[in-house]
């Protein structure tokens, strides 16, 4: 089949080309909704325009009878029964002889008004194969089943004869189908709704009503053809509505001010009008009829009463009246608010007035008291003012007139009244003779004059604190004079004086005395001190200052150690005076500096003394040994053990071996062994090195008595030496067991203390406990170490701990310090 009726041919070649011309057939069937539609075959879907057709002359028939292709494979019906031959024949006849439906059979009201069909095309209607079917036997198929569907619905609450849903809102009957008469589009033959759908879903579906609404909306934009005048609509407002409108417009006053200057061009009328605010437009639309007079038409009636000027004037009067009502309401509201505000102001002013009157009364009384003090301070007064009476007056001011006393300038008041009396009171005072003189009266004035809100303790507070200025200007000159004449070696009176005033004097004044007056005197005296010639020990006039000065004395320790080291160059251990001089400094110097001093200046001298010791069992001189052992508490155990291992035990074991090789008396050797062992303290004997040396001596004696080399053997000597060895070993074992038991008890106590949080386990825990007590931050510095020791921050200070000693980072080196000094520096 050729598509030449759709595609043109190109001359002799016969090549088909697409033609875009509009044919008569296209024009006739363009607007025909009942035209026969072509159903695309499988071959057309595969090959498109190149599909073969049966005829090259005719246009394809979309509803006609098709020819069968007997060369195609056999196709079977997938389901159902094939109709009988008679039925097929009747169907074919009905298809060939379709009868067109007459236009008169279609109801007139259902014919679309604007539907246009082209040509002589007439709609046709096929017969419905199934026909209309009754729903009487709906669900009858359940007779062939067990009825499970009906049972499930009834379990879910379904009642036969009612609709589905929670409130039975569903339809009862199934949806009915309505047969369309022709092959036109939906709605071409009118409404297709069934009576059942109209009953279940009553919806108005009228094209006439839609057309009326459209015409009504369209007429709003057209002029009245009759030229009649519309009836004016009047709006009536009450006074309350006007007041409410005024309140709203008052809230929107700010944006209206901005819009009031906008230029508006109105082009809605016949003529262009210019307004200078949106309010003018609103006033224009409020007028019932502001349109220009229309010319009279043929059928229009002349207006009987038309006075636009009068209407305009009336509208102006109405607007003016509305504005007056709104303004009056606003003025009334303003006056009411003013009355409320003034009542509150009167109440506040009354309170302020009463407070001011009370303040004036109190100030007048204070002024009278001050004037009385000034009168009694004048020279030649019969009843002069004393310091105790002045203190009572200030107590009265502080108790009864506290606010006025705090507000007044206490510095000027104290300078004018108290300072002259205080100078007179301390005129003949000698602090070194009577150190407690004036402490009570000064403590009383401290509570009266000191500023409680003072945050710092420096000299710049003199202008704001009367008591600090009093102590600096009146009390401090006497102290300077007495310190200038004071001798540092007579420290007892000065230390007693400062101890008695330490709780009264401000902190910064006490620091000034210690740093600027006392320390230079002590430093100068230390420089002139000679330990070889001075009979007075230096600790007797330095150590009394430790409770007051503490870390301030650290700079003095280095020159003292240097002078002592120089004095010990020619010292011999037989001179015990060195121990008396050095012993008071053991707890003053830091452990590290003390150990370094002893190792450098004392231990070498003791080693030389042990070298000079001669061990002779028959005639032993013990003086040199006693000289060394006397320093046991002064030098560390490790230093003493090192001396004994190097200078004593080699000679002692050598003498023992030579004695055992000459047929000795083993009882004398046993006594000699026990005698030397009793010369050492338990702390020294507990050291492993000392234990090893004495065990070595026992082994030598056991080998001597166990050897079978010729010679006379003392009866019972072997048993005595074995018993001695067993006894000594058992003592060592018992001592070790006792030490382990003590350590276990200490560990248990430390564990209990750590659980209770009362007893620190080590020095670091002690520092942490003190930091918590004084609210100081103590934490390790991550990734920072000094000589393998972890660095910590104690407040703003960087420290590290080494063998129970705290080292603080100084300007150049690390300085050991005490825990209390560390806390003071952190504060």
Of the pLDDT bands very low, low, confident and very high (cuts 50, 70, 90), residue 339 is: very high
SS3 at position 299: coil
Q: Return all residues near 150 (Cβ < 8 A) that are at least 6 apart.
A: 139, 142
pLDDT computed for residue 428 by the predictor = 84
Q: Return all residues near 769 (Cβ < 8 A) that are at least 6 apart.
A: 760
Query: Packing angle between helix 603-611 and helix 591-601, nearest 10 degrees?
Result: 40
- State the DSSP code for 781: E
Q: Which of 591, 670, 612, 606 is nearest to 641 (CA)?
A: 606
How does pLDDT run across 501-515, given as a tens digit for each residue? 988 888 889 999 999
Write the burial class of residue 823 (CB in 10 Å: 0-12 exposed, 13-18 middle, 19+ buried). middle
- Work out the average pLDDT over 188-195: 79
| 668, 689, 707 - which closes a domain | 707
Please check whether residue 370 lies inside any domain of the structure: yes
Q: For the chain, how many structural domains are there in total?
A: 3
How far apart, in whole angstroms, are the C-alpha atoms of residue 679 and residue 622?
10
Cα–Cα distances (Å) from 811 to 587, 795, 798, 814, 815, in that order, read 25, 17, 12, 8, 9
Q: Return all residues near 522 (Cβ < 8 A) that are at least 6 apart.
A: 488, 542, 545, 553, 556
SS3 at position 533: coil
Query: Packing angle between helix 666-678 and helix 717-756, nearest 10 degrees?
Result: 20
How far apart, in whole angstroms, are the C-alpha atoms of residue 194 and residue 177?
8
Apex 10 CA angle, 7 and 14, nearest 5: 90
Q: Return all residues near 668 (Cβ < 8 A) that are at least 6 apart.
A: 617
Q: Which of 5, 27, 25 is nearest to 17 (CA)?
A: 5
pLDDT surpasses 90 at 348: yes
Q: Return all residues near 283 (Cβ < 8 A) that are at least 6 apart.
A: 315, 319
How far apart, in whole angstroms, are the C-alpha atoms of residue 703 and residue 294?
155
pLDDT surpasses 80 at 799: yes
Residues 703 and 798 both lie in one domain = no
Residue written as token pair 């509505």: 241
SS3 at position 573: coil
| 384, 418, 434 - which closes a domain | 384
- 15-19, 149-153, 341-345: which is most confident: 341-345
Please check whether residue 797 lies inside any domain of the structure: yes
pLDDT surpasses 80 at 519: yes
How far apart, in whole angstroms, are the C-alpha atoms of residue 765 and residue 751?
13
Q: Please give the distance of CA 220 from its chain centroid, rounded to a whole number.
A: 67
Percent of the chain clearing pLDDT 70 (strictly above): 70
| 689, 707, 725 - which closes a domain | 707
Least confident of 19-33, 96-110, 202-216: 96-110
pLDDT surpasses 80 at 171: no
- State the DSSP code for 10: E
pLDDT computed for residue 61 by the predictor = 46
Residues 700 and 767 both lie in one domain = no
Average pLDDT value over all residues in the chain: 75
pLDDT surpasses 50 at 63: no
Please check whether residue 499 lies inside any domain of the structure: no
- Work out the average pLDDT over 212-221: 73
Question: Which residue has better confidence, 302 or 113?
Answer: 302
Please check whether residue 452 lies inside any domain of the structure: no
Least confident of 278-282, 325-329, 497-501, 608-612: 278-282
Residues 584 and 687 both lie in one domain = yes
How far apart, in whole angstroms, are the C-alpha atoms of residue 674 and residue 743?
28
Strand partners, 736: none
How does pLDDT run across 380-415, given as a tens digit for each residue? 777 777 777 887 887 787 778 777 766 766 666 777
Domain membership of residue 322 as a residue range: 310-384
pLDDT surpasses 60 at 187: yes
- Work out the average pLDDT over 80-92: 47
Cα–Cα distances (Å) from 397 to 386, 390, 446, 772, in that order, read 17, 11, 15, 42
Residue written as token pair 């602090």: 431
Please check whether residue 401 lies inside any domain of the structure: no
How does pLDDT run across 675-689, given as a tens digit for each residue? 898 888 888 888 888
Q: How is residue 366 written in tokens?
A: 């204070």
- Helix (H) or strand (E) segment spanning residue 497: helix 491-501
Residues 598 and 703 both lie in one domain = yes
How does pLDDT run across 585-617, given as a tens digit for each residue? 988 888 888 988 998 999 999 999 988 888 888
Handedness of CA 358, 364, 365, 370 (dihedral sign): positive
Least confident of 84-93, 259-268, 340-349, 571-580: 84-93
How far apart, in whole angstroms, are the C-alpha atoms of residue 549 and residue 264?
91
Residues 589 and 702 both lie in one domain = yes
pLDDT computed for residue 112 by the predictor = 42
Please check whether residue 343 lies inside any domain of the structure: yes
How far apart, in whole angstroms, are the C-alpha atoms of residue 285 and residue 308?
15
Of the pLDDT bands very low, low, confident and very high (cuts 50, 70, 90), residue 33 is: low
pLDDT surpasses 80 at 486: yes
Least confident of 129-143, 266-280, 503-517: 129-143
Of the pLDDT bands very low, low, confident and very high (cuts 50, 70, 90), residue 456 is: very low
How does pLDDT run across 298-314, given as a tens digit for each residue? 455 555 567 888 888 98
Write the burial class of residue 157 (CB in 10 Å: 0-12 exposed, 13-18 middle, 19+ buried). exposed
Please check whether residue 269 lies inside any domain of the structure: no
The CB density around residue 513, as the number of other CB atoms within 10 Å, is 20
Q: Return all residues near 815 (Cβ < 8 A) that are at least 6 apart.
A: 554, 807, 808
Residues 594 and 694 both lie in one domain = yes
Residue written as token pair 């074919």: 92
pLDDT surpasses 50 at 439: yes
Least confident of 144-153, 499-508, 556-565, 757-766: 757-766
- Work out the average pLDDT over 173-193: 78
Residues 770 and 651 both lie in one domain = no
Q: How is residue 531 written in tokens?
A: 């330990």
Percent of the chain clearing pLDDT 90 (strictly above): 7
- Work out the average pLDDT over 544-557: 89
Residue written as token pair 């002069």: 384
Q: Which of 501, 515, 492 is nearest to 471 (CA)?
A: 501
Please check whether residue 634 lies inside any domain of the structure: yes
Strand partners, 18: 7
Write the burial class of residue 554 (CB in 10 Å: 0-12 exposed, 13-18 middle, 19+ buried). middle
Rg for the chain, CA atoms, rounded: 64
Q: Please give the distance of CA 131 from its chain centroid, rounded to a whole number.
A: 81
- Helix (H) or strand (E) segment spanning residue 8: strand 7-10
pLDDT surpasses 80 at 11: no
pLDDT surpasses 60 at 82: no
- 579-593, 698-712, 739-753: which is most confident: 579-593
Cα–Cα distances (Å) from 627 to 252, 477, 826, in that order, read 108, 53, 44
Of the pLDDT bands very low, low, confident and very high (cuts 50, 70, 90), residue 132 is: very low
Q: How is residue 127 written in tokens?
A: 């017969």
Strand partners, 817: 806
pLDDT computed for residue 36 by the predictor = 63
Q: How is residue 513 written in tokens?
A: 């005395």
**Buried-state track 603-640, b at ≥16 Cβ within 10 A, e below 16:** bebbbebbeebebebeeeeeebbebbbebeebbbeebb
Long-range contacts of 308-317 (CB under 8 A, 24+ apart): 311/287, 312/287, 315/283, 315/286, 315/287
Residues 768 and 700 both lie in one domain = no
pLDDT surpasses 60 at 630: yes
pLDDT computed for residue 342 by the predictor = 95
Least confident of 162-171, 338-347, 423-432, 786-795: 162-171
The torsion angles phi and psi of 662, rounded to 5 degrees, stand at -120, 45
Of the pLDDT bands very low, low, confident and very high (cuts 50, 70, 90), residue 710 is: very low
Residues 592 and 686 both lie in one domain = yes
Q: Which of 7, 9, 20 is nearest to 51 (CA)?
A: 7
pLDDT computed for residue 120 by the predictor = 38
Of the pLDDT bands very low, low, confident and very high (cuts 50, 70, 90), residue 80 is: very low
Least confident of 67-76, 289-298, 569-578, 709-718: 289-298
């Amino acid at each position: 089949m050729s598509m030449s009726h759709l595609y043109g041919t190109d001359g002799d070649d016969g090549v088909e080309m697409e033609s875009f011309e509009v044919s008569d057939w296209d024009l006739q069937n363009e607007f025909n909704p009942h035209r026969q539609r072509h159903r695309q075959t499988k071959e057309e879907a595969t090959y498109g325009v190149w599909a073969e057709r049966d005829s090259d002359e005719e246009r394809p028939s979309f509803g006609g009878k098709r020819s069968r292709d007997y060369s195609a494979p056999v196709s079977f019906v997938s389901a159902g029964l094939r109709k009988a031959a008679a039925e097929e024949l009747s169907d074919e006849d009905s298809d060939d002889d379709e009868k067109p439906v007459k236009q008169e059979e279609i109801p007139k009201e259902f014919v679309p008004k604007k539907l246009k069909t082209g040509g002589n095309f007439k709609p046709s209607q096929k017969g419905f194969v199934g026909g209309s079917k009754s729903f009487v036997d709906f669900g009858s198929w359940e007779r062939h089943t067990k009825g499970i569907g009906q049972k499930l619905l009834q379990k879910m609450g379904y009642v036969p004869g009612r609709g589905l849903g929670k409130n039975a809102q569903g339809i009862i009957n199934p949806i009915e189908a309505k047969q369309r008469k022709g092959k036109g589009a939906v709605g071409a033959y009118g409404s297709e709704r069934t009576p059942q759908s109209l009953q279940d879903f009553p919806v108005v579906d009228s094209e006439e009503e839609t057309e009326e609404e459209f015409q009504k909306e369209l007429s709003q934009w057209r002029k009245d053809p009759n030229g009649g005048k519309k009836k004016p609509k009047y709006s009536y407002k009450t006074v309350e509505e006007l007041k409410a409108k005024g309140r709203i417009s008052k809230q929107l006053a700010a944006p209206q001010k901005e819009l009031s200057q906008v230029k508006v061009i109105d082009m809605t009328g016949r003529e262009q009008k210019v307004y200078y605010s949106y309010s003018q437009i609103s006033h224009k639309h409020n007028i019932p009829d502001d349109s220009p007079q229309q010319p009279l038409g043929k059928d229009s009636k002349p207006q009987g009463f038309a006075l636009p000027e009068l209407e305009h004037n009336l509208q102006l009067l109405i607007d003016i009246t509305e504005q007056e009502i709104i303004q009056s309401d606003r003025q009334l509201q303003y006056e009411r608010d003013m009355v409320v505000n003034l009542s509150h102001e009167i109440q506040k002013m009354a309170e302020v007035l009463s407070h001011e009157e009370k303040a004036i009364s109190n100030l007048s009384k204070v002024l009278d008291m001050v004037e009385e003090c000034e009168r009694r301070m004048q020279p030649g007064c019969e009843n002069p003012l004393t310091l105790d009476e002045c203190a009572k007056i200030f107590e009265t001011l502080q108790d009864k007139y506290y606010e006025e006393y705090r507000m007044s300038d206490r510095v000027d008041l104290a300078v004018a009244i108290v300072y002259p009396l205080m100078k007179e009171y301390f005129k003949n005072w000698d602090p070194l003779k009577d150190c407690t003189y004036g402490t009570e009266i000064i403590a009383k004035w401290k509570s009266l004059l000191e500023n409680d809100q003072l945050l710092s303790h420096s000299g710049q507070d003199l202008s704001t604190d009367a008591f600090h200025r009093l102590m600096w200007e009146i009390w401090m000159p006497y102290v300077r004079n007495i310190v200038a004449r004071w001798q540092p070696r007579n420290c007892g009176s000065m230390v007693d004086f400062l101890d008695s005033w330490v709780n009264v004097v401000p902190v910064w004044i006490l620091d000034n005395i210690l740093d600027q007056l006392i320390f230079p005197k002590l430093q100068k005296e230390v420089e002139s001190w000679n330990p070889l010639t001075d009979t007075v020990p230096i600790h007797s006039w330095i150590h009394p200052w430790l409770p007051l000065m503490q870390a301030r004395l650290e700079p003095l320790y280095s020159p003292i150690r240097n002078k002592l080291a120089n004095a010990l160059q020619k010292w011999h251990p037989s001179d015990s005076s060195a121990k008396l001089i050095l012993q008071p400094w053991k707890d003053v110097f830091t452990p590290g500096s003390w150990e370094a001093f002893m190792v450098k200046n004392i231990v070498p001298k003791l080693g030389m003394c042990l070298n000079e010791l001669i061990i002779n069992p028959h005639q032993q001189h013990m003086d040199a040994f006693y000289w060394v052992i006397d320093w046991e508490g002064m030098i560390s155990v490790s230093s003493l053990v090192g001396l004994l291992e190097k200078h004593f035990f080699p000679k002692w074991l050598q003498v023992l071996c030579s004695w055992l090789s000459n047929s000795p008396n083993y009882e004398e050797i046993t006594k000699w062994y026990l005698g030397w062992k009793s010369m050492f303290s338990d702390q020294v004997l507990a050291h492993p090195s000392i234990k090893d040396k004495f065990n070595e001596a026992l082994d030598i004696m056991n080998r001597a008595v166990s050897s079978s080399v010729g010679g006379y053997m003392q009866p019972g000597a072997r048993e005595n030496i074995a018993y001695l060895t067993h006894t000594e070993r058992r003592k060592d074992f018992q001592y070790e067991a006792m030490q382990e038991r003590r350590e276990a008890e200490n560990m248990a106590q430390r564990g209990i203390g750590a659980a209770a949080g009362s007893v620190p386990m080590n020095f670091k825990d002690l520092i942490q406990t003190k930091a918590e007590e004084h609210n100081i931050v103590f934490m390790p510095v991550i990734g920072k170490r000094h000589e393998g020791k972890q660095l910590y921050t104690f407040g703003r200070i960087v420290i590290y701990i080494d063998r129970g000693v705290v080292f603080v980072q100084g300007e150049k080196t690390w300085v050991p310090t005490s825990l209390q000094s560390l806390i003071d520096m952190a504060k």
